[in-house]
Structure 1
Amino acid sequence: MPAPKSEAADISALQPSCRETAAHALTIVRDGVITGEGPTTRGRVHFSRALDADDAAWCARILTASAVEHEPVSRVEAEALFDINEAATERSDNGRFDDLFAKAIAHHAASASGLPVPPRTVALSPDTDIESWAPAYAKGVNKEVLEWIASQMRGKRRSNRTLMTMVATLAGVAALPLAHIPFVFDIGM
């Protein structure tokens, strides 16, 4: 028996044809994380505001789909990942989403700065160390991109240690005034 039309349409929306549709697919994952319902949660128990290994796998499949494999992670995809990160108050994915999230944001930051990035399947793989390709120093990293990432992280209840370390390192090397560093993560001096 074929799937109901709406379910088939929902699943097809999770197969991106470009970076815009990938970002839309990520919002479907986010909605499933928030509500515990939807095409990404069908056939399994899923609590609202929870992110599990299947949710992380959906994000990885969307971000590494063949249609976007050789494109850098876009700002709208990065924003969708920030939204998923914020929506998920409970995690049971053994850190897979945090790893994918940090690598995708670094991929966006490097590419938006005009730096070379590997294909997504390499860069976002759990078997690839972020240090093997992500910028470790600010030479060539666009300060506006760093400020945008810092603004996305500011005031959030959930932080990503890898991403915080990368931004703090790049911001420090980029010679942001020392007085601004505490405000990157809303910490006091």
Structure 2
Amino acid sequence: MTALQPGGVDAIGALEPSCRNTAAQALAIVRDGVITGEGPTTRGRVHFSRALDADDAAWCAKILTARAVEHQPVSRAEAEALFEINDAATERSDDGRFDDLLAKAVAHHAASASGLPVPPRTVALSPDTDIESWAPVRSANVDADVLRWIASQMRGKRHSNRTLMAMVATFVGAAALPLAAQLPQVFDIGM
């Protein structure tokens, strides 16, 4: 794979991460394109700064499901890069694909970091796969530090992700419904 430096990728169409670290670096390139509206992931098309479109979501999906990382769990660095893309985009024209991808990638990371089995990324992150079919269903199954990390990533964000909020509510579980009712205050975001 060529070096993944902003502006330094000549053949972005052949982008194939070799590991989770290079996947996170590639996602940073997508983030930079979302922020500036320029760069290798926006070449050949009109792209406004701070906008996330279907092509940006497709780049993220392609990077996250590359052959070299398909059978590895989503890393925290990759999930954080997705949160950065989410924060950078003030305008959306991707029909919800990025929000779905973000929620599934975070769930994939959370489950694996908690020692739970996860399906290959091509299955887990597919728009055709329901997150409920593989994600953990109770907080007893998810490491508390991972839940705190997710909460810290979501706290104070202007763009709420309903799929991610539902996933966190699922992690919390029915036994903690009073806490689930307070999720908007816990995460400091409005639903």
4+ aligned runs moved over 6 Å, structure 1: none
Cross-structure match for 1:31: 32
Match of 2:97 in 1: 96
Q: CA deviation at 1:182?
A: 5.3
Could you list the runs of 5+ residues in structure 2 that have no partner in the other structure? 1-6
Contact 1:13 1:25 in 2 (8 A): no
Assess if the C-alpha contact under 8 Å between 2:138 and 2:173 holds in 1. no
Q: Could you state the TM-score of these two structures normalised by the residue count of structure 2?
A: 0.88
Deviation at 1:162, TM superposition (A): 1.0
Question: In the TM superposition, what is the alpha-carbon distance from 1:62 to its structure 2 partner?
Answer: 0.1
Q: Corresponding residue for 2:187?
A: 185
Q: TM-score, normalised by structure 1?
A: 0.89
Q: CA deviation at 1:170?
A: 1.9
Shift in alpha-carbon separation, 1:181–1:50, aligned structure 2, 3 A: closer
Counterpart in the other structure of 2:4: none
Equivalenced residue count is 183
Q: By how many angstroms is 1:173 displaced?
A: 5.3
Q: How does 1:35-54 map to 2 (within 5 A)?
A: 35-54=36-55
Q: What's the C-alpha RMSD, in Å, of the aligned pairs?
A: 2.4
Inter-partner Cα distance in structure 1 for 2:107 and 2:9: 33
Q: Deviations over 1:152-182 (max 9, x none)?
A: 0000001100111221332355859949755
Structure 1's unaligned 5+ residue stretches are none
Identity of aligned residues (%): 80
